[in-house]
Amino acid sequence: MKFPDGFLWGTATAAHQVEGGNINCDGWLLEHLPDTRFTEPSADACDHYHRYGEDIALLAQLGFNAYRFSIEWARIEPEDGEFSLAALDHYRRMLAACHEHGITPMVTMHHFTSPRWLMARGGWEAPETAQRFARYCERSVRHLGDLIASACTLNELNLVAAFQSTGRAPSDEQIVRLPMRTEAARAMGIEPEKFGSYPWCVRSTSRDVLLEAHRLGAAALRSGPARFPVGMTVALSDMQAAPGGEANRDRARRHAQDVFLEAARGDEFVGVQTYTRDRFGPHGTLPLEPGVEVTQMGYEFMPRALEATIRYAHAKAQVPVIVTENGIATEDDTRRVAFIEQALAGVARCIRDGIDVRGYLYWSMLDNFEWLFGYRPKFGLIAVDRQTQQRIVKPSAEWLGRIARANEI
């Protein structure tokens, strides 16, 4: 099947996971606490902050035409209201590098990490954070807008809700008492309840702040001078019901997916980010069935989940879809190829059925810092030697690059 002209074929990354030395953000602080839940610190990550030029050139050489990356609020606004022209210029150079290589840049304004100073002001549990986020968007777009092809406001603003509803994250009550959260607040000399770090914030308080941040941030991005499509990205597992599990599944969907997808109505697109499925029974989420293939993240190998979530997101949000993340953590690159191949067949079926899917951005370009799990999970199409930072192209990168170039599967 031929994909539509202009279909975006690319990869995605996030600043904190690849740049290295992101010391002014809350994530860095959390990684270095004595009671940290992170297995290792992000450190130099993939040194993408300095090596973006060769990485973008490599993407183009492989055959890709798009790259989604995030810009780092903690660098651009290192103190409340103080903007760094040097940091903005850095991202301008990155955007320019994309254009030089024929790569369409999609920018994410916030991908999980926030400036430390924001935590002293209540983080994502404080209503004023929405306005502060919009101010950062407005300042950034004034400097970068003419080079941006499309933008995502917040990455997975439903993440806490999604993980809580599938038992992958602590409950609101447990989050408040997390030793890591209390310690981080102490290290900053602030009240423990202030440290509303995303995604360690209390869902019931942060949900409206995040939705408002999306609304105000999107308006700031659309306020010009440049014009480009703006949307949010949503973490979507394919939520399925086993017999008797319908009510539980529907409840989980309602609060982890629908509320957010409905808020995407009126945007220019919605970013679908899918890794697996979750099954619900009469008593809640069901464990994995014996013998199923499991990825390095402990997720069921389920590439078909992408098709189901594209259809679901499109029905709820009623706007065009971009697959802003889809991927697998595995040491076995042949399983990566199998995963992407089956996922893409689902994308093709959606397009054939008339759903406006505009791109597929594989997570991730590089083997990078996988948050709590450190550098062990391998999501990348390109490996990174942790001693030398040398890039090693995997067969899956060449395979997907060929599909991208041909624009067909």
- List interacting residues with ligand BGC (CB under 6 A): 14, 17, 155-156, 235, 273, 325, 363, 370
At 65 the three-state DSSP class reads coil
Structure tokens at 202: 């209390």
Phi, psi at residue 291, to the nearest 5°? Answer: 85, -5
Distances (CA, A) of 373 to 4, 44, 212, 297: 37, 16, 30, 9
365: three-class secondary structure by DSSP: coil
Task: Give the residue from 113, 159, 162 showing the smallest Cα distance to 14.
Answer: 113
Bridge partners, residue 366, by sequence:
382
Least distance to ligand BGC from the beta carbon of 70, Å?
Answer: 9
* CB contact set of 173 (below 8 Å; sequence gap of 6+): none
Q: Is the Cβ of residue 133 or residue 299 nearer to ligand BGC in the bound state?
A: 299
Q: How far is the CB of 262 from ligand BGC (least distance, A)?
A: 21
Can you read off the two tokens belonging to residue 112?
Answer: 């999980």
Cis preceding-peptide flag for 199 (omega within 30 of 0)? yes
Q: Which is nearer to ligand BGC, 14 or 218 (CB)?
A: 14
Least Å distance, CB 146 to ligand BGC, is 27
In the bound state, the residue with its beta carbon closest to ligand BGC is 14
> Which residue of the set 31, 125, 156, 370 is catalytic?
156
Where does residue 130 rank: exposed (0-12), middle (13-18), buried (19+ CB within 10 A)? buried
Q: How far is the CB of 273 from ligand BGC (least distance, A)?
A: 6
Name the residue nearer to ligand BGC (CB basis): 63 or 380: 380
Smallest separation, CB 180 to ligand BGC (Å): 18
193 DSSP 8-state letter: G
Q: Which residue, 155 or 166, is less far from ligand BGC as judged by CB?
A: 155
Give 154 or 344: the residue with its C-beta nearer to ligand BGC: 154
What gap in Å lies between CA 235 and CA 67, rounded to an integer? 19
Q: Is 265 exposed, middle or buried (0-12, 13-18, 19+ CB in 10 A)?
A: exposed
156 catalytic per annotation: yes
Point out the residues that are catalytic: 156
